Amino acid sequence: MPSPPYIPNPAPGPVGPPKYQLYIPPDLPKLAPARMLVALHGFGGNGPDFAKPFMSIAQAHSWILVAPTFGYGDWQNPAKVRAEDPVLCRQLMAMLDDVGLRSGHVTEERVFVVGFSRGAQLADRFALFHPDRVAAVASLSAGTYTLPEAALDLDGDGALDELPLPFGTADMEDWVGHALDTAGLRGVQFLVGVGSDDTNAADIPRQWDPVLGRTRVARAQAFEKALTLLRVPVQFTMFPGAKHQLTLPMAASVDAFLSKI
């Protein structure tokens, strides 16, 4: 597998929170630490629109709902993703700290994250980069995944091929500042979901094919397999008849999954 083009690492230093919508249930207790549900929209979307299906869920469970808006770059270019997502994750970290100040509520250290498409990619990588801040991830219809592995035998010759970001975690320390915390990742629960008809290979970039397969369905299954092999708790769900869309059954599945944690 050819390596992505070289571009410089993200510059060190503080990164502020992104623009985000904050929803606080009116009856949220003031004294008990509140759980946050972070909703990450897809490419071309925005936080307020993506958050709508999850507002009633947050209300029912007394969760603070946080929905940032990002201007994603070219998600089909591995080099751009490799540079962009560590920065976006640092923005998310700053946002989590900002929510406590802005909301006036004490918040739990570990959050729930739900993402769709490009937002699912970011949700997965945020959990890989910072498992100490994530209790659970609902990852829906991602087009690409970063495997929690540094190398794989991609051509069946018995030799391991290195997996740099964003394919794997071989050089994660260079970009994130630390290597993959495997033990910490085993403390994160994953829901990996995808529509059964989300199989148009032309919708997703080809660079991930040797690692994950050619469709969103195959790639979701490959990510679920990698998490299982690493003994990370994961639930895989296929949504019958769904194409590349956030459906009501998907939102209901997120509710059922997170409410048990």
* pLDDT tens, position by position, 130-149: 999 999 999 999 999 999 99
Q: Give the pair of three-digit tokens for residue 113.
A: 């994250």
Contact 126, 118 (CB under 8 A): no
Q: What is the pLDDT of residue 7?
A: 72
Per residue in 170-201, pLDDT tens? 999 999 999 999 999 999 999 999 999 999 99
Q: How far apart are CA 122 and CA 124, in angstroms?
A: 5
In degrees and rounded to multiples of 5, residue 257 shows phi and psi of -65, -50
Better pLDDT: 100 or 82? 82
User: Which domains, from first to last, does the chain contain?
Assistant: 20-259 (3.40.50.1820)
Sign of the torsion formed by the C-alpha atoms of 82, 85, 86 and 87: positive
At residue 3 the predicted structure's pLDDT band, cuts being 50, 70 and 90, is low
Bridge partners (DSSP) of residue 178 are: none
Inform me whether the pLDDT recorded for 258 exceeds 80. Answer: yes
**How confident is the model over 14-34, as pLDDT tens digits?**
789 999 999 999 989 888 899
- Among residues 25, 36, 43, the alpha carbon closest in space to that of 246 is found at 43
Nearest to 151 by CA among 134, 137, 169: 169
Distance CA 202, CA 119 (A): 19
Q: What is the pLDDT of residue 155?
A: 82
Average pLDDT over residues 147-160: 90
Tell me the C-alpha distance between 193 and 221, whole Å.
9
* Cα–Cα distance, 225 to 221 (Å, whole number): 6
Give this prediction's pTM. Answer: 0.96
| Per-residue model confidence (pLDDT) at position 153 | 87
Residues ≥6 apart with Cβ < 8 Å to 126: 89, 92, 113, 133, 134, 137
Of the listed ranges 8-22, 206-220, 244-258, the least confidently predicted one is 8-22
Q: Which of 215, 211, 225 is nearest to 160 (CA)?
A: 211
Distance CA 45, CA 25 (A): 24
**Mean pLDDT over each residue of the chain, to the nearest integer:** 94
Percent of the chain with pLDDT over 90: 88
Cα–Cα nearest to 223, from 101, 124, 93: 124
Give the phi and the psi of residue 78 in degrees, each rounded to 5.
-55, -35
In tens, the pLDDT along 47-86 reads 999 999 999 999 999 999 999 999 999 999 999 999 999 9
CA distance 148 to 230: 8
Please tell me the predicted confidence (pLDDT) of residue 1: 65
Q: Which of 75-84, 149-158, 220-229 has the lowest mean pLDDT?
A: 149-158
